[in-house]
Structure 1
Amino acid sequence: MYRKLILENGVRLVTERIPTLKSVTVGIWVNAGSRDEQPAQAGYSHFIEHMFFKGTTSRSATDISREIDALGGEMNAFTTRETTTFYVKVLDQHLPKALDLLSDLLHRSKFAPKDIEKEKQVVLEEIRMVQDDPEDLVQELHTGQVMGRHPLGRPILGRATTIGALRRQDLLDYVDARYQPQEIVVAVAGSFDQRALERTIAREFGRRRPSSQQSHVRRAPDLLGGVVMQRKQLEQVHLCIGMKGISAGHPDRYAAYVLNSVLGGSVSSRLFQEVREKRGLAYSIYSFLSGYSDGGTITVYAGTRQKEVERVLDVIRREIRRMAANSITRDELKRTKDQMKGSLMLSLESSHSRMNKLAKDEMIKGKRTSLDDMTRAIDAVTSKQMERVAQELLDEQAMAVTGLGPLSARQLQLSR
């Protein structure tokens, strides 16, 4: 059973009670991510996520770890370009302790100077890890290429210079500005008592008064095409090919999901079958959608031998061109719809996945989309809609190509 409650200070509570489960997952979602940072603040959102686990006025970092372990639970956090999330999954009997812990982290973290200096080194190592992972690195380079100077193009982790220069007061000011009650969604899914939960949430999260300052305003991105290459001594060349996508809440999103699945979103997709299975040109090739509140992208990734770069790009472009011209077959449409509905149902079998869906629905649309609504929307995708969406999104002239590895600019230029 779904319920939504807005506290007096603006914090939104969205819940789905599932009595058949023994677990419950609580997520604190903040409408602030890397795109909301100024250039000199690059990496603050992610760094703050780390600092919330480094000790509060009543718990040390060790106390926090031991407490969640003693409950047999799971606690973690993640930062995206638009949100920062903290969550705990526990047995339903431990929900009050989990809420007390999350409230303590959110409202009473110390941000001790010595912990900040130590965590700078941890985050700098995290940045170096991306530099050492070519698949991650080429996708980061590609995002920067497509988004240009827009904040969505900056790395979520920030840059070594901004991380090294940050100060405690900078972080506290950022939290004060971005972690306003009206920007927070508390999502709870699993087994719990509704009335007791609402009382606890009001007590733990309803006390902070909202600020009178205006919420941050986001600017929609203008996507860029072209070719970018970075030479690096690697065993493979890593490629990203990007095109225009759609926003997370767009009316055509289900058609875009179908389009991506047929193009490269599964092992039965056209790109996987053509590039890997038929020609053996790559071990890893796939496509994915990135949807934001005001725009999005479709990206194809492939890793291949240096001598096969032109062939791989030619096959990818040919499949994109063919799909833009002819969309997909009726058999592909039916098969992909069935696959999407099956994956959707399987993905929502845990309290954690239900919590994620509750929060995303609220942050994107301000209301819940039921499983029945989603399956009906998938079924409603038509061949005519697919043709239109394919023509709108798969624009070869606006394509962006990013290459990383032992290659020459000529290889990428000739492929265009």
Structure 2
Amino acid sequence: MYTKSKTKQGITVVSNALSFYQSVTLGIWVKTGSRFEQPHQRGMAHFIEHMLFKGTQKREGRHIALALEQYGANLNAFTSREETCFYIQTPHSALEPSLEVLADMLTASRFAGEDIQSEREVILEEIAAVEDTPDEYVVDLFQEHLFPDQSLGHPILGSRESVSEHTAEGLMDFWRQHYTADKMVVAAAGRVDHRRLHESVERHFEGLRPHGAAGAPEGAAMARGGRFEHNSGFSQAHICCGTAVCSATDEQRFALQALHVYLGAGMSSRLFQLMREENAMVYSVYSFPEFLSDTGLFSIYLGTDGGKSGKALDLLKSELECLVRRGIDRDTLERVKRQMRGRLMLSLESTYNRMVRLAKHQIFFDKPYEPEEIYRRIGEIALPEIEEAARAYFNFEEWIVTKLQ
């Protein structure tokens, strides 16, 4: 069962109490990310995520780690296009002191000049690492082409130029505008008492600003039908192709998730069997959908020998055209739905996955859904839904294709 409440500051608190666990995963989600950045702010959301680990008014950075790791807890964070999350996996007995440390990080960080400069160097190394990892870098390039000249298409890390120019004043302005109670969701799953959690959040975030001056994210404007090549000296061709699709709240997402499982989720998927096992055309092939507040992406990655990239794309195009014309049969759909339900059940073994699911549902739907509701909706996916989604989004001529070699 899920429980939800709101603190006097306006922070939403949601929890999933599981008494058979000895641990709890708690995430503090801030509804901001790279999509909320202005052109001169590229990479700020991610930069701030780093800075909150560097020290507060009462703790040095190393003392943040010590305060949590003394209990055996694991602290981490990530920045996405629409959210930033700080999360901790901890023994349930250490949840209260762990939450106090997280609240201190989010409300009282120092943004000291020497820390900004040292972390700037770390982020520049992170950007270089992505550029040296072609299967990651090509996805960034693909999204730049799919959403050109807008925040949704820019890399979450920012660019070398933008990261080099960020100042303490600029970072703190972004932090003050976005790290406010109305944009925060605290989600916890595991051995947790909701009433105590609510009281702790209310106490430790006592002085948090109720709201800021941050506006809505920039709207999405998708490009269609482009072919782009980038030369970086790699022997293998790395290809990312796809299109914009429906949002996280659209019912059509279930059909797209089913098509993802059918096409590119695992070794039994259609593209893996066709392109790797039967034709030895690729080393790696998989699909990955992503659903956002008002749009989404459906992408396919191919890793192949440079000399085979043209034939690999022809084979992919032919398979997608066949899917649009013929759809899939009933037995295949039932197998896909079994796989989706099984993946859902396995994900629920993890308190981290439960925490993420809880927070995402709250952010997108303003309420948590029970797993049984999702399980039932998967069972209701019908062939006409699959056919409609394939016709709507899988016209390969309208896809963006990005090749990095």
Aligned residue number for residue 14 of structure 1 = 14
- Tell me if the contact between 1:221 and 1:295 (Cα under 8 Å) persists in the aligned partners: no
- 1:305 and 1:250 map into 2 onto residues whose CA distance is 37
- Tell me if the contact between 1:145 and 1:224 (Cα under 8 Å) persists in the aligned partners: no
SS across alignment from 1:220: coil
For residue 191 of structure 1, report the CA deviation from its aligned partner. Answer: 0.7
Identity %: 37
- 2:21 and 2:161 map into 1 onto residues whose CA distance is 46
The code of the aligned residue for 1:322 comes to C
Matches within 5 A, 1:13-412: 13-211=13-211, 213=213, 215-405=215-405
- Tell me if the contact between 2:177 and 2:214 (Cα under 8 Å) persists in the aligned partners: no
- 1:195 and 1:348 map into 2 onto residues whose CA distance is 23
- Tell me if the contact between 1:142 and 1:402 (Cα under 8 Å) persists in the aligned partners: yes
The code of the aligned residue for 2:170 comes to D
- Tell me if the contact between 1:56 and 1:104 (Cα under 8 Å) persists in the aligned partners: yes
- Tell me if the contact between 1:146 and 1:225 (Cα under 8 Å) persists in the aligned partners: no
Closer, same or farther in 2 for the Cα pair 1:202/1:125, shift >3 Å?
A: same
For residue 54 of structure 1, report the CA deviation from its aligned partner. Answer: 0.4
- Tell me if the contact between 2:7 and 2:198 (Cα under 8 Å) persists in the aligned partners: no
For residue 9 of structure 1, report the CA deviation from its aligned partner. Answer: 2.3
The code of the aligned residue for 2:127 comes to I
- 1:280 and 1:198 map into 2 onto residues whose CA distance is 55
Q: 1:273-315, CA deviations, whole angstroms, 9 ceiling, x for partnerless residues?
A: 1110001111111111121111112111111112211110011
Decide which moves more: 257-266 or 271-280: 257-266
- Tell me if the contact between 1:5 and 1:13 (Cα under 8 Å) persists in the aligned partners: yes
Closer, same or farther in 2 for the Cα pair 1:306/1:222, shift >3 Å?
A: closer
- Tell me if the contact between 1:243 and 1:395 (Cα under 8 Å) persists in the aligned partners: no
For residue 362 of structure 1, report the CA deviation from its aligned partner. Answer: 0.4
- 2:222 and 2:281 map into 1 onto residues whose CA distance is 33
The code of the aligned residue for 2:66 comes to R
- Tell me if the contact between 1:263 and 1:269 (Cα under 8 Å) persists in the aligned partners: yes
- 2:154 and 2:182 map into 1 onto residues whose CA distance is 26
- 1:209 and 1:279 map into 2 onto residues whose CA distance is 58
SS across alignment from 2:308: helix
SS across alignment from 2:273: helix
- Tell me if the contact between 2:14 and 2:186 (Cα under 8 Å) persists in the aligned partners: yes
SS across alignment from 2:81: coil
Aligned length: 405
- 1:136 and 1:387 map into 2 onto residues whose CA distance is 31
- Tell me if the contact between 1:232 and 1:404 (Cα under 8 Å) persists in the aligned partners: yes
For residue 206 of structure 1, report the CA deviation from its aligned partner. Answer: 4.4
Decide which moves more: 114-123 or 297-306: 297-306
The code of the aligned residue for 2:233 comes to Q
Closer, same or farther in 2 for the Cα pair 1:41/1:15, shift >3 Å?
A: same
For residue 108 of structure 1, report the CA deviation from its aligned partner. Answer: 1.0
SS across alignment from 2:82: coil
Q: 1:71-130, CA deviations, whole angstroms, 9 ceiling, x for partnerless residues?
A: 101100000011000011100011111111111101111111100001110000000001
Aligned residue number for residue 408 of structure 1 = none
- Tell me if the contact between 2:176 and 2:212 (Cα under 8 Å) persists in the aligned partners: no
The code of the aligned residue for 1:356 comes to V
SS across alignment from 2:189: strand
SS across alignment from 2:163: helix
For residue 137 of structure 1, report the CA deviation from its aligned partner. Answer: 1.1
- 1:73 and 1:296 map into 2 onto residues whose CA distance is 34
Closer, same or farther in 2 for the Cα pair 1:399/1:209, shift >3 Å?
A: closer
- Tell me if the contact between 1:270 and 1:319 (Cα under 8 Å) persists in the aligned partners: no
- 1:232 and 1:194 map into 2 onto residues whose CA distance is 52
Decide which moves more: 11-20 or 220-229: 220-229
For residue 57 of structure 1, report the CA deviation from its aligned partner. Answer: 1.3
SS across alignment from 2:111: coil
Q: For structure 2, which runs of at least 5 residues remain unmatched after alignment? A: none
- 2:108 and 2:212 map into 1 onto residues whose CA distance is 22
For residue 219 of structure 1, report the CA deviation from its aligned partner. Answer: 1.3
Q: For structure 1, which runs of at least 5 residues remain unmatched after alignment? A: 406-416
Closer, same or farther in 2 for the Cα pair 1:99/1:212, shift >3 Å?
A: closer
- 1:220 and 1:4 map into 2 onto residues whose CA distance is 31
**So what's the TM-score if we normalise by structure 1?**
0.95
Q: 1:358-400, CA deviations, whole angstroms, 9 ceiling, x for partnerless residues?
A: 1000011111111110011000100111111111111223111
